[in-house]
Structure formats: structure tokens, C-alpha cells
Chains A and B, each alone.
Chain A
């Protein structure tokens, strides 16, 4: 479950943490769009290399590295399958770029989720005129990701104590072993959802139409600068990609 950590908020203080969630969302979207514009190794490596300093500024490089280690199996899997199944001229090269693109995309989004508190997220959504109930549901979903992870571990412990061998047997056996984990996980989640709903209602959730808020997010000068810089980068990249075209050097591939 450690791979989930890159999408999980960590309480820290850094330049990135202090930014307004809306400007961070913009930055993340720009990074994600740029990652989706390219499918060659060199440009993707450049994108990846420019994301790392941002992660470092968020003081999250170590967490990111840890999660990536957890994801390594999946990444290798993607690479192998794409190499085997691709019909293009350079299957390996192609699957390496696909994997790089996935990593870049995940890193872009982790930049947002690592540094935005669930409450900030819902406040940002509300100030972007999303209905309160919907914004609340979003931040609740985000808030319960780690809880669900802990729960999954507790369930695995309980079932292993009853003699379930999770990491033994052939493929079919392993798939069947998921049942004793997944069923309690779903039931526990439903029970919790019901009790959260009850406790929210008993505390007057939805009682008044017009909510007021203790704290409101403020777009500061640094947020505007971030938006302007990101926009500038996006426009430049779009221009280079579609109008100027990439130099041959950038289209290099591994050759098989």
C-alpha cells in the first residue's frame, strides 16, 4: 500500500505547501498536459527532471522515492507488456516512454495531493463555486484513503491469524485469497459511511442553506506569479511542439 503515499497529504511546511491550492491545481494540470504532449524519451526525461526540483521544494523527495519503489513492479510490468504487445517500429523505446509518461503524470498529481490538506481542497472547490456537499464528499474521499489502507492491513492480519496464506499457491488460489480481504473491507467501509452520515446529521449537516466559512483562501502575489509562469511555460511548450517542431535530437530513441 506504500505506493498510495504519494497521493496522501503530509503535514509539513514548505514553499509548495504554503501556496493556494488553486494555483497548485493549475501547476499540476499544466505539468500533466505537458507530459501528455510528448511520447519521446528525451522530452519526457526533461519534464521528469524539472518535476524533481518541485518535489524537492515540497520536501517530499523521500516519500516519492519510497512510493516509486512500491510501484516498481507495476512499472516493470507495464514496460514488459508494452514491449511484447506493441506493434510500432521500436517497441522497447515506445514502452520506456510510456512508462516515463506515467511516472511524470503521477508525479504531477502527487505534487498536488501531497501538499493540499483535504480541508483546503474542499475550501478551494467551494470558492470555485462547486456545491458544498460535493466538495465535502471529495475531501472526505481524500481523507479516508489512508484509513482504508490501515484497515486493509488490519484485515490481512486477522485473516492470516486464521490460517489464510496470502502469498502462497498458484494464480487462481491467490485471486481467491483476495475474497477474505475485500469482503470485510467493503462491509467495514459501508458501516463506517453509515455511521459518519448519522453523526454528521446529528451535528446538523445541511441544516442551513447558506454556509459561512471560518477561513477563506486568499490568492496572493506568489500564487499569481506561479499561475503566470506556468501559463508561460505551457504556451512556450505548445508553441515549440506544434508550430516550431522538435529538433531531431529530441526524437532520439533506443533503436529497438
Chain B
């Protein structure tokens, strides 16, 4: 469980990135954080593992005040994957790259090898084990970087823009893997601009703008709220646009529909009624 209380953070005392953020993410939740560029999303998740310390307010992890915990301690609980994979890849093979984090966190050689193979195959990276991460394409490097943290199966997994550079199928397999981990009781937090990805897989959305949380709640209500969307520079999800179009003709269609299954069921009801 992560709790933030009135967290404020500014870079060099000039640029204020977070102005009083309060939130609670319970164990086993899956949450999406959305917002404009510069809204403070990355700054926020850097507080989850202690890379940044609040200048005002508190961060609690599993009920403990984190001000006395080191990043290494917190990294055992919270796995963070950053946007740019090139900032973390440095070894000569993908396998070693994935094993590196596992060994840092105290896994034995055999455990590390086993987890390594598992993660590679689940992310569609079979056959990449012995290849150098530097010889891979951008999207592939991104998946190796993801794999290196996913393999450690941390209690909380926080990903910054994991879908960039991934094709539709890769996104699906990434989502499947995240949901699998979520079912095992892991907390999954993603920062993303990919609205359809959020709607299909994340029940809760936190919308941020200008260092503050503007909405926090049910994804289908947050992402269909036009004022929130405007402040976060997002557009209505495609399915909600479809729902709106249907609403012109049929009064009993809600304008809070966002996911494909919502539209499917309303379309079926309408067709059966006709």
C-alpha cells in the first residue's frame, strides 16, 4: 500500500512539479496515471521508491514512513521502469541484463536463470537471451528493460510510458502480463498517454494537471468527464464518441460508456429492442 500525504516537490526550488498531492493506492490495485506533459507524473512515481523525497508532506510504503528508508530498500518493494530503456541497459546480453536486477535484490543464480527465461518468453523475447541489448531495435530494447524489472516481480510495479514504440500485439501481451501479475496480488501503476490501453485494462485512473490531481476514480467516469479530459489534454475515448453518437438517436444510452464491452452490450440491447 502506498500513501502520499500533501506531497510537494519542486526542482531546484524554481520549477514546481507537485503541489500538494494526496493519494492512496491499495495492495492489488491497478491504476493508470494520466495527464499533460509536465503535469508531474514522472515526478510522482519517483516518490514511490524514494528517488525523490517530498519537500513537504509524507510518503508511506506498507504502513512505514519512507523518510528513513534507502532507495535500495524501497526498490525491493517497488519496481520502477523508466521511459528510456537506454538509461539502464549496460550488459552484453539480455539474459545478464535481466539477471542483474535479480542478483541485486538477492536472488540466487538458479532462481535468476529461471525467472529470466520465463520473463523473456512472456514478453515475446525468446531467442534474445544471448543477444546484445544494444543490437536490438528501440521497441525491443524497451521490452528488455521492462523484462529486467518485471522479472523481479515486485509487490508494486510502476511503469513510465510502457507502451511507447510497441505495436498493438506487443501492447496486448504486455497488458496480459501486467494483469497476470495483478491477479497474483501485485499492485500495478502505469503512467501513459494511451487512453484505449487504460480503458481496457485499468479500473482506476488518476488524472493530473499542473502538479495536482484533478480527478481520481473509476476509469470510465474519469475519462468521460469532458472538463477533466480538457485539463489533461486528452480527447474522448473512441467508444465514448460512439456512445455519444448513439445517444443522438437513443435516449437510454449513457454517456459514461468507455470500453468496447460497454458498447457491445448496449448495441445488443438496442438491436434486441428494435
Contacts and interface: CB of A to CB of B under 8 A. Distances in A.
Nearest to B101: A162
A215 B101 CA distance: 52
B90 A163 contact: no
A184 B72 contact: no
Given A157-B82, A187-B134, A163 B75 contact: yes
Nearest to B74: A161
A157 B89 CA distance: 13
Contacts, number: 66
B70 interface: yes
Interface string A148-164: 00010011011111111
A80 interface: no
A154 B148 contact: no
A165 interface: yes
Contact of A160 (B51, B84, B149): B51
Given A163-B76, A163-B105, A154 B87 contact: yes
Nearest to B97: A162
A163 B149 CA distance: 10
Contacts of A151: 87
Contact of B51 (A157, A164, A168, A180): A157
Nearest to B71: A160
With a 10 A CB-CB cut-off, give which of A161, A165, A168, A191 has the most chain B CB atoms.
Answer: A161
With a 10 A CB-CB cut-off, give which of A162, A164, A168, A188 has the most chain B CB atoms.
Answer: A162
Interface string B46-60: 100101000000000
Contacts of B89: 184, 187
A187 B84 CA distance: 12
A183 interface: yes
Contacts of A158: 82, 84, 87-88
B86 A184 contact: yes
B90 A183 contact: yes
Contacts of B76: 163
B70 A184 contact: no
Contacts of A187: 86, 89-90, 134
Contacts of B51: 157, 160-161
Contact of A163 (B72, B81, B82): B72
Contact of B72 (A154, A157, A160, A179): A160
B49 A161 contact: yes
Interface string A226-255: 000000000000000000000000000000
B100 interface: yes
A169 B81 CA distance: 25
With a 10 A CB-CB cut-off, give which of A157, A159, A164 has the most chain B CB atoms.
Answer: A157
A154 B104 contact: no
Nearest to B105: A163
A161 B90 contact: no
A153 to B, nearest CB: 10
Given A157-B82, A161-B82, 20 more contacts: A154-B87, A155-B88, A157-B51, A158-B87, A159-B88, A160-B51, A160-B72, A161-B51, A161-B71, A161-B80, A161-B88, A162-B104, A162-B148, A162-B149, A164-B104, A165-B71, A180-B100, A184-B90, A187-B90, A188-B87
18 contacts: A155-B88, A157-B87, A158-B84, A160-B75, A161-B49, A161-B75, A161-B79, A162-B104, A163-B101, A163-B104, A165-B70, A165-B71, A179-B90, A184-B87, A184-B89, A187-B86, A187-B90, A187-B134
Instruction: List the 9 shortest-distance A-B pairs measured between CB atoms, nearest first.
Output: A163-B104, A183-B90, A158-B88, A161-B80, A158-B87, A162-B101, A155-B87, A160-B71, A165-B72
